[in-house]
Chains A and B, each alone.
Chain A
Amino acid sequence: MRKDSCRRFEPLLGELLDGELDAKTADTVYRHAAICARCAAKLAATRRLVEAARSLQSPEPPPLLWARIATRLADELPQKERVTAKPRRDRRRACWWRPRWWWRWQAMPLVQRSWKWQAKAAPVLFGATAVVIALLWLVDSGQLLLQPAGGAQMSQVLATPSGYAASARPTSFVSANSAVSIVSTVSTISTGSTVSAGSSLPDADLRDAVFSGVRGRAWPGGTGEHGFVQADADFAETISELGRLVEKERHRLPGSVLVEYESNLAAVERTVREKEEQVRRHPEDYGFRDELYGTYRRKMAVLQEVLVSGGSFR
């Protein structure tokens, strides 16, 4: 056997092993290897090599590798990809037209976060928003109070002390009912206790009462206490619910987000304790209470932010 023929067959030995040759060529190579010890030895050596290579097992990636990749993605993607990615990538990120209450609704465990549910909920939310806007507009223009809704009934509504609670609630709770409560609050503030049907209020007072909050206002007849209890309960329930969600999602949050969250939460909780102390010392000063509720809202914002920016609902 000449070396020339070996040179011709050598490249085919590997393909013979891999089963990539047609029957005729394979037979030719086989016949050559059967009479050529050199090629037979190469064939055996290649076979040992390939078998050893095939027997190697895939190593298991480190268990925390995904956490590190997710952290890098969280750090890098927002900066580099928001510009270059298709617009649809940003669909679920927080923005002005998808405010925080929407994310809160998304976080509800019983609500299925699917497009089907969102499609069903969209008209309801739209309708509720339209009603709220219409009511606020009516209040602002004074038309609602001029409606003769029945003197006794209106007096009863306006005498209920739930107005402060409604106005002190977080904005995400503002609904058609609370808008009515705002109306009663405004009326209570402006007139003392009751408003008879057909009476009117100056626009400036109404606007001031609705849009400037409750800071520094004296509340008639001590009606606030009942409302404060309700507002406190609402805030406590919301914060507790958000806290549960954060605890549930905690293991999925990247380390950098957790560190920032812990720091922000500690700061806001310090402020909450200070404000609560101020309210205890000055229970009659509604300005302190308003500040306390503002601090509650900041705490809710911190909890919502970690859920959103932590990647759970992006």
Chain B
Amino acid sequence: MSVDIAAAMKPTGTASVSGKDGARGHADAEEWRMVEACLSGDQRAMEALYHRFKRRVFSLIVRIVGVVDAEEVVQEAFVRIFRGLPRFRGDSALGTWIYRLSVNAALSHVDRRPKQAEGEEALAQLTSTSAPPRDPKLAARLEEALTRLPSGYRAVIVLHDIEGMSHEEISAILGCRIGTSKSQLFKARARMRELLKLDDPGLADGSDVVESGP
């Protein structure tokens, strides 16, 4: 068996979203201004808020609920966001709060959806609208495998591996502990490897342990 250990060891790095739209400790002055403007009924401010977060919200939701229901859930999420703005206290960044509502909207939609619909969605359409990835075949299989993951695993892997959020941010969005986020990600990745058959089939049963020199 030949595995490029040096390449495999290279950290992929977590592209933290802290910054413009991401999750920081608290809402900053600019975010408060935007929230105030929205609360005063300023249509342009509401539209600006939508355009600022639409891509990430849509991306999160489309990967949790699938293409077919994504638009409906995004609408629901933004209605919840604007309806809930008076309750935004600024304990977390505006982005974190918005992603939390979006993920909750997506997960509750998945819970309500009939079980047989799980995993039957074709995500080829989604892949075709995206820019060509480095490994198009694997990317398409990955999108398809995502739909077969349990919704909890799906949310964590989408937030961490696709959206590049850190475990601190994920714990703030999902309302769980950092350790829970890490263990969920570990299980989600293991399940994805199984679904994608990325593990070496010869080693899959764990019986063959090869001793090699350092």
Given that A15-B182, A34-B5, A55-B135 are known contacts, is A49 also in contact with B71, CB under 8 Å in the complex?
no
Q: How far is the CB of A275 from chain B (nearest CB, A)?
A: 35
Given A59-B126, A61-B74, is A76 in contact with B83 using a C-beta cutoff of 8 Å?
A: yes
B129 near A60 with CB under 8 A, answer yes
A41 to B203, alpha carbons, bound, how many Å?
8
B74: chain A residues within 8 A (beta carbon)? 61, 65, 69
Q: Give which listed residue, B86, B126, B143, B213, contacts A35 with CB less than 8 A.
A: B213
Give Cα distance in the complex from A11 to B179, angstroms: 12
Q: Considering only CB atoms, which chain A residue lies closest to B40 in the complex?
A: A91
Q: Select which of B43, B182, B199 is within 8 A of A41 by beta carbon.
A: B199
| B4 with A45: CB separation less than 8 A | no
Q: Is the C-beta of B151 less than 8 angstroms from some C-beta in chain A?
A: no
With A and B bound together, what is the CA distance between A88 and B40 in angstroms? 6
Q: Of the 9-residue stretches B93-101, B105-113, B185-193, which lies at the interface with chain A? A: B185-193
Residues of B within 8 A of A85 (CB): 39, 86
Chain A minimum-CB-distance residue to B157:
A53
B residues less than 8 Å from A57 (CB atoms): 130-131, 133
Beta-carbon contacts under 8 Å, A194-224 to B: none
With A34-B214, A53-B161 as known contacts, state yes or no: A19 contacts B55, CB within 8 Å: no
Instruction: Name the residue of chain A whose CB is nearest to the CB of B158.
Output: A53
Number of interface residues of A (CB under 8 A): 68
Q: Choose from B7, B196, B210 the contact partner of A37 (Cβ within 8 Å).
A: B210
- Report the Cα distance A41→B13, complex, angstroms: 19
Contact in complex: A35, B75 (CB < 8 Å) = no
**Would B133 and A11 count as touching, CB distance under 8 A?**
no
Contact in complex: A45, B142 (CB < 8 Å): no
**A-B interface pairs (CB < 8 A), number:** 205
Interface centre among A37, A77, A85, A86 (most CB of B within 10 A): A37
B209 touches A6 (CB 8 A): yes
> When each residue 277-314 of chain A gets 1 if its CB lies under 8 Å from chain B and 0 otherwise, what string results?
00000000000000000000000000000000001101
Cα distance, A19 to B166, chains bound together (Å)? 11
Residue of B nearest to A2 (CB): B209
A226 within 8 A of B: no
CA distance A31 to B212 in the complex (A): 11
The answer to whether the Cβ of A252 comes within 8 Å of any Cβ in the partner chain is yes
Residues of chain A within 8 A of B139, CB atoms compared: 52, 55-56
> In this assembly, does A265 line the interface, its C-beta being within 8 Å of a C-beta of chain B?
no
A residues within 8 A CB of B75? 65, 68-69, 72
List residues of chain A with CB within 8 A of the CB of B180: none
**Can you offer 21 A-B residue contacts whose CB atoms are under 8 A?**
A14-B189, A36-B210, A36-B212, A37-B3, A37-B208, A41-B3, A41-B200, A44-B5, A44-B8, A45-B193, A47-B7, A50-B189, A52-B142, A55-B139, A56-B130, A57-B133, A58-B59, A59-B59, A61-B55, A65-B54, A76-B79
Residues of A within 8 A of B (CB): 1-3, 6, 10-11, 14-20, 30-31, 33-38, 40-62, 65-66, 68-70, 72-73, 76-77, 80-81, 84-86, 88-93, 252, 311-312, 314
The 6 tightest CB contacts between A and B, nearest first, are A19-B11, A37-B210, A53-B161, A45-B198, A57-B130, A55-B133
> Known contacts A16-B9, A19-B13; can you find 5 more A-B pairs with CB under 8 A?
A17-B12, A38-B208, A57-B131, A61-B54, A66-B47
